[in-house]
Amino acid sequence: MHLPSFLYRRLSRFVTCVLRVPGGGTLELDSKFQVASFQDVFMDPNYWRIFTLFAQEPKLVVDCGAHCGHFTVLTEICLRMRFGEVATQYVMVEPNDHLQPMIKRNLASANLSDRAQVYQAVVGQKSGTAMLETMAKNFLISSVSSSGTGQAVDYLDLAEPVGDRRIDLLKLDIEGAEFDFLKQNPDILAKTDNIVAEVHLNAGTMEAFDAALSAAGFQLDGPVMEAYGNRMVIYRRKS
């Protein structure tokens, strides 16, 4: 690892990089997990395509696999730069309890706390409990199974926080559970207009993912990008 990067990741809580968020607020990279999450989101060109995704201000964004909350902050930056002051609401789902304080700090620093609901849960199935396994050295790497070791976390049915609203953008970075999600949540897909996803090829194929979304009324928008052996994609509802 590059020595300055290694040292910063270890010392960031003492010497913190504070970034200004366009439109108001800040973002503090005060731990190695924040640094890794920031790089994972802000260095991904697929996520920056959100800037041109909407013709008008979206009302609801659902962020599944929120990690430290950086995708929500990036989306908010894109919307502020595109539309000015916005009132977009966010539903965020992250199962790792160690990341919950970081999410809340980032939302507060970016002036987003009053427009975001945060749930410590997993998505995929409609109900029940899953076992979440995480890596102490890297909280961004996790896996969910129906049994085994780890932390017991309840499934969240997105129909509850979403209600009768349409989802302008659904983000899925849920460590392979996206395949179960597509099977078990036709009601959520029916009220969704755009999807940005990381497709984990250790859980299924890109062809199967594409076929499931095509059957649900979506079409691939733009190129399929590769990142860390997975596929980064955006789908739009067919017109």
pLDDT on residue 112: 98
Is residue 217 assigned to a domain? yes
H helix or E strand, kind and range, residue 227? strand 225-227
pLDDT on residue 136: 63
pLDDT tens-digit series, residues 129-168: 988 876 665 555 556 656 666 788 999 999 999 999 999 9
Question: At 189, which CATH number?
Answer: 3.40.50.150
pLDDT on residue 22: 94
What is the C-alpha to C-alpha distance for residues 182 and 213, in angstroms, rounded to an integer? 7
Is residue 79 assigned to a domain? yes
Running along the chain, 239 residues long, what does each successive block of 10 average in pLDDT? 68 83 94 91 95 97 98 98 98 95 97 98 94 66 63 94 98 95 98 98 96 98 94 96
User: What is the domain range of residue 171?
Assistant: 31-237
pLDDT on residue 44: 94
The set of residues, in sequence order, having a beta carbon less than 8 Å from that of 176 and lying 6+ positions away, is 143, 144, 200, 202, 203, 204
Is residue 19 assigned to a domain? no
The set of residues, in sequence order, having a beta carbon less than 8 Å from that of 65 and lying 6+ positions away, is 93, 94, 171, 172, 173, 174, 175, 198
pLDDT on residue 32: 87
Provide the domain count of the chain.
1
Burial class (CB in 10 A: 0-12, 13-18, 19+), 54: middle
Is residue 1 assigned to a domain? no
